[in-house]
Amino acid sequence: MARFQIRVHPRAKRNAVEPKLGEAYRLHLAAPPVEGKANDACIRYLAERFAVPRAAVRIVSGRTSRTKLIEVDGATAADVERILGGER
């Protein structure tokens, strides 16, 4: 199980992730921050990137904040760095 922080930027042109800036990865989501749509998009996007079921991705803290602590079952810290850290 891996834990990492993300900083969500809703209403972006497209879904994308940027390497760490400080403690958190920057996650751009096309979904608006209304009625949990951005949180749902966050979970869907990360599950797709890590190739795990959506149930394996959880928002541990920050459901109503842009900064979120994410937990992914079946992933390691090395997986997080490889999957999220290398994309531009």
What is the tens place of the pLDDT at every residue in 7-49?
A: 999 999 999 999 888 899 999 999 999 999 999 999 999 999 9
Q: Are 59 and 40 in contact (CB under 8 A)?
A: no
Q: Which CATH superfamily is domain 2-85 in?
A: YggU-like (3.30.1200.10)
pLDDT at 86: 67
- Give the pTM: 0.92
Based on its alpha-carbon atoms, the radius of gyration of the chain, rounded to whole angstroms, reads: 12
46-61 pLDDT, tens per residue?
A: 999 999 999 999 999 9
